[in-house]
Structure 1
Amino acid sequence: MASAIPKPEYPRPDLDRSERWLSLNGTWDFESIDGAATITVPFAWESEASGIGRSWLASASYRRGIVAPAEWEGSRVFLCFGAVHHRATVSIDGTLIGTHEGGYTSFEFDVTDALRAGVESELTVEVDAPADKRSIPHGKQRSLPRDDYDGVSFAPSSGIWQSAWLEARGRSYVSEVSLRGDSLNAFEVAVTVCGDAAAAASVAVSVVGATQGMELVTDATGRATGILPIDEPRLWSPEDPHLYELEIRVADDRLVATAGLRSFETRGEQLYLNGERFYLKGVLDQGYWPASGITAPDDHALVRDLELARDAGYNLVRKHLKFEEPRWLHWADRLGMLVWAEPASTSRFSAQAAANFEAQIAEMVTRDGNHPSIVIWGLYNEEWGLDWDIPGDRAKAEAAGRAYELLAALDHTRPIVENSGWAHVKTDLVDWHYYDEKPGSWAENVAALASGERHDFPVPLGPAFVVDKSLYADATVPRGGIPLLNSEYGGGFTSLERGWHLRWQTQELRRHDRFAGYVYTELADVEHESAGIVTAERRTKDLGGLDPADANAETVLVLDVVPVQAGTDIALPTGELTLGVRVSHHGRSALSGRIRAAWAAQGEPFGAVERVHEVETAVTAHPFEVTDAAVLSLTVPAASAAVGSATAARLHVWLTDADGAVRARTFLDAGPLEERRS
């Protein structure tokens, strides 16, 4: 019995031609220095899922037979690849079809003249995957010689790692579609036609299931633009991720493109989604899976990751240093998850490396720009590819600024971050990365960044090697008037410690109104990096009693406490505990209710057991304004059936609204403190 085709879904549902296509995923012949074998496409040859599981192959060849269906006679036939790392040379029956360089970008070839409908031909893809990746975009893939950031790198991912397929198109066909819905009442449409009669071609654009439509005529270059008004527009948002399907026809060619009416903008230091104030609660996602590397094992895995992020209270995923496959963006659009998209990085600076990095920018916008889920474009990350030296080298600063300008010229509808986390040259968001496992210094430095008292923060670059990294490359970069947000934080070695830092560090970020949001590191463990809220296999972790959705809720309680250690936030006092509690509320209207607190047994979850010595106080929280501290005074319990030990207990703190519904909750663990060994 033939094995099932892996990842059988049409790879580009956002530009749907699934009426006439043929998957090339599955078993291919594979030849390398190790000899002949078979490989399962589309999985990198380093991965278990590929059936090869071989690292550091510099090159290999793929072969298989392909047949264009007889009913495609008279159509144009395209050979399409989602991504091949790094350099692909494609031949059919020994005749060169074309080459492509760039391991994260899609490419295609018109193979009409190379195939005969109904007749089998041999397709060959020769792949070069250099071990030394420092001057090519490779993101988190490990390089030899190694990158400066090798300690946070993962296994290489070489070869055909996204879907390959054939599809039929008209003799004149739509090659590119740009749909921008940031006006909220119309789509700005740009179409490029190629083929037999690209100039003066009539292009019909219509909304599927509605009466709106228009006719465009291409110019001499095959390009046509227009504005398509939408009657009674329904906006795309996380709460209502409504999508419009637009049918686009030219001659006998047809595709269905998907887009949404959505705006995302900065106004001073604030973010706005569809004209309403927005607070970003993001999680970083590396996009790795244990058996299949940077390729999701199946479509369900893509959906599952987005659902995990949503269920943990996040409204955005920062897809880190990777163009994820279009089906992930397809599902982000449908599930209402916002996306921060960014290209893979190089690691060492040179003019050629910068050019290689910049070559991804136009392809990123062309492939992914129609997705309403993408609300932020990222570029460089922490000066990777710029030798950690923007402030000290004008050429490197110019490279970051040039990347910003290239991207801004292609798409003005989304904020752009040119160098995430470190020294900014030209940016629409001032973001910062800060890892600190000492609660006192974390709180102090976060407060200083929020107040503007300091514009730098400590960054460990190696054992006993810590530098202060500035938010700004030089004095010409504005110190205000741009949204300020964290885009990487977290800490801890065990899952208990990770949950503890997530709870307290997120509270500190919510303490400060000035911040426009945050991005936690990270969604899932990857190889040696055990920083996820779930394991690499996407199993839940014991985070010390924390439900991440509580830390990331619309309304959060902020305790006036500097915790001491994971599992024991404070020493259990004798007599009475006085606690300040603030409310950070990001709803659209004021929230009035009561803050309540009560003791329970150590480790007991909220609502599971009897609570003792309960107290409460009234509070009103206004949107995007942290309240003044409400002071609670609680009698410390003696040993009892409700709290167990007299030396350790958990204090639950929660907020109920006027109807008695719980709107926010957190907890404080009190007990004996362990002495720290030096």
Structure 2
Amino acid sequence: MMKKTLAMACLIVSAHSIAHAQDWKPTNSKIMTTWAEQITPQNVHREYPRPQMIRQNNWQNLNGLWKYKISSKEDKNLPKTFDGNILVPFAVESALSGVGKRINKDQALWYSNQIEIDKKVNKGKVFLNFEAVDWQCDVYVNGQHVGQHEGGFDAFRFDISSAIKKSGKQDILIRVWDPTNEGPQPRGKQINNPHGIWYTPVSGIWQTVWLESVPETFISKTKQTPDLDKNALLFSADIQGKKPGDEILIEAFDKGQKIAEIKSAVDQSAISLPINNPKLWSPNSPHLYDLKVKVLRKGKVIDEVSSYFAMRKISMKKDAKGIQRMYLNDEFVFHYGPLYQGWWPDGLHTAPSDDALMYDIIKTKEMGFNMIRKHIKVEPARWYRHCDSIGMLVWQDMPSGDLGGNVWDMQPGKITSDKHDKDRSPESEAIYRKEWKAIMAQLHNYPSIVIWVPFNEGWGQFKSKEIVDWTIKNDPSRLVNGASGGNFNAPGHIFDIHNYPDAAMPSPELYGSNYVLALGEFGGLGLPVEGHTWQQKDNWGYQTFKNVDELKKKYSGLTESLSRLIPLGLSAAVYTQTTDVEIETNGLMTYDRKVIKIPADELRQLNFKLYNKELIKQ
């Protein structure tokens, strides 16, 4: 009898899973990745989404099938009927959403879900977390408006404790408005009319949605900054609901062994945790320490989170020839890596899985690169965790927006004047400042990030000196590449030109004594691979080749050119690009990641020559 009951239960569960699977399937995509074939509504992005501040037992993943509706922007009434199912966290335009529809500035996108909150979560304060929603997002719980957020690339959350029922199903309703390139907001490469280097729009939820419970007194955020000169980790925390006498305990561990701890009052603004004989983080040795942070009240643990950190230093100083160089842990390291768009043929902004997210980094490392320029997009937090663990330097761009109106002088090495900056509206400027500040705060704790890039190629570039100076002041622990290939009236620490396809550099005589010299983009060598392109013909690259041998010969020549420029003062170069993206076929891999155009081991042999420290002595 027991066996029959168990068999019947398994049949019911299996039938339920099949029914849900039948409610969703990818829309017709031009090409798909291998990981897309493994997705079900039950297994989509189930990983804990916030690796720098973990409460492992107090969370609930809400990814999966939701209802959706596309309505008029003017219709603010909460909908009661819906158009169908959408697979969260994939954008409505993507194949993996199961919808594959575009929306415009005159429309709103609604999401609806009925959930039961796990018992482990339905206690204390309950937060509804969104890792990213593009762009304006209003959230309702059981008919109550709990908050609005604007910003397509930063995580946010709302306290829904007062809106949830004590038991039973909870109604969650989300309204999204996204004007794409018809608004002033940061958007990166999205455009309503995709063409050339501009890609399909991404609207709505595109990263994990989840619940978290915390006690009345809880750790809201932490800030961790390595100080290699003092052999210490500088630490601060935002504690909500703290009471007089509460303490904070910080413990550092190296492979399970406690190496340091410090206890202080919760209202202390800055804490220095000594790290004796630190093991340094670098691409060759990406050593990470574990961290535990606890709030104590009369010796009792009130709240606890786990995190991690690394001991590393990025700086600039002059070499023996008087040219500014970039130093990692007080040693010159040539930064060389690809421009990484982070786009996917099936998920657009969203990788089909965490394994896919990690794959691009692993392959980049295998190809012999030590850096990635994260181009005008912010990745999920787990992507930065993978860079930290695998050992990859990251240059992080601010997503651009509000384009047009700039005068952009592409002459390599020429500094333009302030009049070339865009005159942005007060609304546009406020949106930029708010989101850039939020992005830098959100990503501060990831040691792989060594460079901030506030502007790219003059796209929406405004008040350059003011923004660059503000970025430097906001985070003095990193270098700032003020305008990668843009208007050079405020280079920050790095003078960065773009030059396609061949390698070039800013004039060391003119700029080398004041700035680190970088080639922020070059290459763009195209090779369309039949059966793996976004469209059958009219694909594009800065220079297109007919076969792998031609491509490899040209790439080899580019690395030879770099090896001659490094002794002259070049400190970094960014090759375009990691993968093909839509009609761009200038990737090292195809858009579906199924073909690596030049074998990784051959690329590694070519690239490793650039890290020879003897080059700087020539």
- TM-score, normalised relative to structure 1: 0.72
Residue 265 of structure 2 aligns with which residue? 217
1:412 is aligned, of 472, 476, 494, to 476
| Cα distance in 1 for residues equivalent to 2:98 and 2:121 | 33
Tell me, yes or no, if the aligned pair for 2:181 and 2:187 is still in contact at 8 Å. Answer: no
Provide, for residues 97-129 of structure 1, a one-character-per-residue CA deviation record: whole Å limited to 9, x for no partner: 000001111100111222245432100110001
Residue 496 of structure 2 aligns with which residue? 431
1:534 is aligned, of 589, 600, 605, to 589
The 3-state SS of whatever aligns with 1:125 is: strand
Which one has a larger percent helix, Structure 1 or Structure 2?
A: 2
Provide, for residues 280-320 of structure 1, a one-character-per-residue CA deviation record: whole Å limited to 9, x for no partner: 11111000111111101101011110011111110001110
| Cα distance in 2 for residues equivalent to 1:479 and 1:239 | 27
Which one has a larger percent strand, Structure 1 or Structure 2?
A: 1
Which stretch of the first structure deviates more once superposed, 10-19 or 69-78?
A: 69-78
2:603 is aligned, of 516, 525, 548, to 548
The CA deviation at 1:69 is: 2.5
Residue 321 of structure 2 aligns with which residue? none
Tell me, yes or no, if the aligned pair for 2:123 and 2:213 is still in contact at 8 Å. Answer: no
Residue 39 of structure 1 aligns with which residue? 86
| Cα distance in 2 for residues equivalent to 1:276 and 1:67 | 54
The CA deviation at 1:132 is: 3.7
The CA deviation at 1:507 is: 1.4
Distance change in 2, residues 1:231/1:482 (3 Å): same
Residue 334 of structure 1 aligns with which residue? 389
Distance change in 2, residues 1:199/1:330 (3 Å): farther
Pairs within 5 Å for 1:433-512:
433-436=498-501, 442=502, 446=504, 449-452=506-509, 480-490=513-523, 491=525, 492-494=543-545, 496=548, 497-512=550-565
| Cα distance in 1 for residues equivalent to 2:557 and 2:583 | 24
Residue 373 of structure 2 aligns with which residue? 318
1:226 is aligned, of 271, 279, 282, to 271
| Cα distance in 2 for residues equivalent to 1:163 and 1:286 | 20
| Cα distance in 2 for residues equivalent to 1:526 and 1:14 | 30
Distance change in 2, residues 1:129/1:498 (3 Å): farther
Residue 624 of structure 1 aligns with which residue? 616
Amino acid in structure 2 at the alignment position of 1:127: V
Residue 539 of structure 2 aligns with which residue? none
The CA deviation at 1:550 is: 2.4
Distance change in 2, residues 1:27/1:74 (3 Å): closer
1:53 is aligned, of 100, 104, 127, to 100
Residue 411 of structure 2 aligns with which residue? none
Tell me, yes or no, if the aligned pair for 1:79 and 1:167 is still in contact at 8 Å. Answer: yes
Tell me, yes or no, if the aligned pair for 1:319 and 1:341 is still in contact at 8 Å. Answer: yes
Q: Tell me, which stretches of 5 or more residues in structure 1 are unaligned?
A: 387-395, 437-441, 456-477, 557-584, 588-621, 627-678
- Residue 97 (str. 1) matches residue 97 (str. 2): no
| Cα distance in 2 for residues equivalent to 1:31 and 1:507 | 54
Distance change in 2, residues 1:354/1:36 (3 Å): same
Distance change in 2, residues 1:198/1:450 (3 Å): farther
The 3-state SS of whatever aligns with 1:293 is: coil
Distance change in 2, residues 1:68/1:224 (3 Å): farther
2:223 is aligned, of 160, 175, 178, to 178
Which stretch of the first structure deviates more once superposed, 87-96 or 109-118?
A: 109-118
The CA deviation at 1:543 is: 4.2
The 3-state SS of whatever aligns with 2:451 is: strand
| Cα distance in 2 for residues equivalent to 1:153 and 1:425 | 26
Residue 382 of structure 1 aligns with which residue? 457
| Cα distance in 2 for residues equivalent to 1:231 and 1:129 | 49
Tell me, yes or no, if the aligned pair for 1:499 and 1:546 is still in contact at 8 Å. Answer: no
Which stretch of the first structure deviates more once superposed, 487-496 or 97-106?
A: 487-496
Q: Tell me, which stretches of 5 or more residues in structure 2 are unaligned?
A: 1-13, 18-40, 73-81, 297-301, 319-323, 405-421, 526-542
The 3-state SS of whatever aligns with 1:511 is: helix
The 3-state SS of whatever aligns with 1:354 is: helix
| Cα distance in 2 for residues equivalent to 1:198 and 1:238 | 42
Instruction: Report the count of equivalent residues.
Output: 512
The CA deviation at 1:379 is: 0.8
The CA deviation at 1:214 is: 1.1
The 3-state SS of whatever aligns with 1:112 is: coil
Residue 168 of structure 1 aligns with which residue? 213
Provide, for residues 559-598 of structure 1, a one-character-per-residue CA deviation record: whole Å limited to 9, x for no partner: xxxxxxxxxxxxxxxxxxxxxxxxxx624xxxxxxxxxxx
Higher RCO (CA-CA < 8 Å; seq separation 6+): 2
**Bigger Cα Rg:** 1
Percent identity over the alignment is 29
- TM-score, normalised relative to structure 2: 0.79
Amino acid in structure 2 at the alignment position of 1:493: T
Residue 256 of structure 1 aligns with which residue? 306
| Cα distance in 2 for residues equivalent to 1:12 and 1:117 | 27
Residue 179 of structure 2 aligns with which residue? 130
Provide, for residues 621-649 of structure 1, a one-character-per-residue CA deviation record: whole Å limited to 9, x for no partner: x35234xxxxxxxxxxxxxxxxxxxxxxx
Pairs within 5 Å for 1:7-22:
7-22=45-60
Residue 666 of structure 1 aligns with which residue? none
| Cα distance in 2 for residues equivalent to 1:239 and 1:183 | 18
Amino acid in structure 2 at the alignment position of 1:25: N
CA RMSD, 1 decimal: 2.2
Provide, for residues 232-267 of structure 1, a one-character-per-residue CA deviation record: whole Å limited to 9, x for no partner: 311111121111111111242111121111001111
Tell me, yes or no, if the aligned pair for 2:133 and 2:153 is still in contact at 8 Å. Answer: yes
Amino acid in structure 2 at the alignment position of 1:11: P
The CA deviation at 1:542 is: 4.1
1:267 is aligned, of 305, 314, 317, to 317
| Cα distance in 2 for residues equivalent to 1:546 and 1:260 | 29
| Cα distance in 2 for residues equivalent to 1:302 and 1:62 | 25
Tell me, yes or no, if the aligned pair for 1:69 and 1:118 is still in contact at 8 Å. Answer: no
